[in-house]
Amino acid sequence: MKISVVGTGYVGLVTGACFAETGLTVTCVDTNSDKIEKLKSGIIPIYEPGLDVLVAKNCEMGRLFFTTSLVESLKNAEALFIAVGTPPGEDGSADLKYVLDVAAEIGKNMQGYLVVINKSTVPIGTAQKVREVIISEQRKRGVNIPFDVASNPEFLKEGAAIEDFLKPERIVIGTDSEEAEKLMRKLYKPFLLNGHPIIFMDIPSAELTKYAANAMLATRISFMNEMANLCEIVGADVNMVRKGIGSDSRIGNKFIYPGVGYGGSCFPKDVKALIKSASEKGYSLKVIEAVEKVNDAQKELMFKKISEYFKGHLNGKKFAIWGLSFKPNTDDMREAPSIVIINKLLAAGAMVKAYDPAAMDETKKVLGSRVEYAADPYSAVDDCDALVLVTEWREFRVLNFNELNKRMKAKVIFDGRNIYEPEEMKEEGFSYVSIGRKSIGLK
């Protein structure tokens, strides 16, 4: 069977490689010719653990192809996945331009029955819009070729995308066509041998499921951040509270870690888009609106803590930043809290030397030469007034205090992810400020 995947980013490339892994012939399409050239010559344009091996293997087996031509990918394809970006528009709603561009291309070029599957995160009603654009383009050609549109939201996590795709906890499909349902069952059967469900539903429910999932996860994070802030006021320790509630099986221990606010390519834009699509229908999502507000404030919290510690005197101070990507195991810098913290430090006249295991190139695109880049974590702390841990990559977990003592100008650590222990910091003679826990050595 032959399929086409349009949009070769974090979702499209993983989708294409994983379907190829099951034996399908997959053509990945992208309008970004630079990306396609890189992929053709074996270079993976994003950082995603395991993806290089999977792509190389399936290219070598002659099952995975890359092209800038959607027309070429349509030849004999039975299904086409749309996996292009849906960035926030100016008013917060999802910008459907890229999705509808793909729909137009399909309508202009399709030759036989095709199932068009929307994998991009899109608001309710998008499948219908895609259908209308395809029909309209077919009419211009004077043809009436049958097709179906299905919704298949993606739940993979960057950093664990391959594992999530190959062993999904569930597959959600919105469809109103038996033929499309049959094809989707066939496509996903190899991934569901572990017994996890494929859930069929109507298209609007599938479209909303993705937003509801992300909004729920974002809610847990903002909830915990509020608890952390309250802990600081009342003298409680949020780590204890987290363990206390997380052991309740109704709550569970995932997504209840306080920190510097959520970022990334999904939560911020999906929360915004959900609020917007509800308000367009005259409904205000009060909980979700609060989730966003809390997160915006949380992204500024670490800077406030730093400024408070230095009593507002940040001009000329030097800060080492560990971790730049919005979360570990990805190079994705979209909406990363590190950008907010660094921009605020720079605006206050401070200097920043940053290190990230994977996201340095992406950071350079965002912050350019306003920041100094370190080759390794410990050269970032040379002569700094404080170390700020923003993203909890595994390699930061155990501190080399000898190196820190030798290199740092002042022994001060701000921990945006609560990965260090206040007691240890005290023993080592460090001032230590974290989230929702007692600070050590605060002047």
Active-site positions read 266
| Shortest Å distance, C-beta 263 to ligand NAD | 12
Q: Which helix (H) or strand (E) holds 27?
A: strand 25-29
Site residues, ligand NAD (CB under 6 A):
6-12, 29-32, 35, 83-86, 98, 101-102, 120-121, 154, 156, 158, 265-266
The single-letter DSSP state of residue 9 is S
Nearer to ligand NAD, 89 or 441 (CB): 89
Nearer to ligand NAD, 164 or 237 (CB): 164
Radius of gyration for the chain, computed over Cα atoms and rounded to the nearest angstrom: 24
Which of 382, 373, 417 minimizes the C-alpha distance to 396? 417
Which of 160, 215, 74, 159 minimizes the C-alpha distance to 357? 159
CA dist 217 and 214 (Å) reads 5
| Shortest Å distance, C-beta 337 to ligand NAD | 17
CA dist 388 and 302 (Å) reads 9
Nearer to ligand NAD, 232 or 270 (CB): 270
At residue 66, φ and ψ (nearest 5 deg) are -130, 140
Nearer to ligand NAD, 89 or 246 (CB): 89
Q: Which helix (H) or strand (E) holds 228?
A: helix 203-234
Nearer to ligand NAD, 158 or 207 (CB): 158
322 neighbors 378 (Cβ within 8 angstroms):
no
Nearer to ligand NAD, 96 or 387 (CB): 96
| Shortest Å distance, C-beta 154 to ligand NAD | 4
| Shortest Å distance, C-beta 360 to ligand NAD | 18
| Shortest Å distance, C-beta 236 to ligand NAD | 33
Three-state DSSP state, 321: strand
CA dist 284 and 77 (Å) reads 42
CA dist 354 and 331 (Å) reads 14
Nearer to ligand NAD, 69 or 205 (CB): 69
CA dist 238 and 364 (Å) reads 34
For residue 361, the one-letter residue type is D
Question: Which residue's beta carbon is nearest to the bound ligand NAD?
Answer: 9
At residue 104, φ and ψ (nearest 5 deg) are -65, -45
Q: What residues contact residue 385 under an 8 Å CB cut-off, 6+ apart? A: 310, 317, 318, 319, 409, 410, 412
Burial class (CB in 10 A: 0-12, 13-18, 19+), 368: exposed
Sheet hosting strand 386-389, strand order edge to edge: 372-373, 351-355, 318-322, 386-389, 412-415, 431-433
Nearer to ligand NAD, 32 or 111 (CB): 32
- The torsion region of residue 142 among left (phi > 0), alpha (psi -120 to 50) and beta comes to left
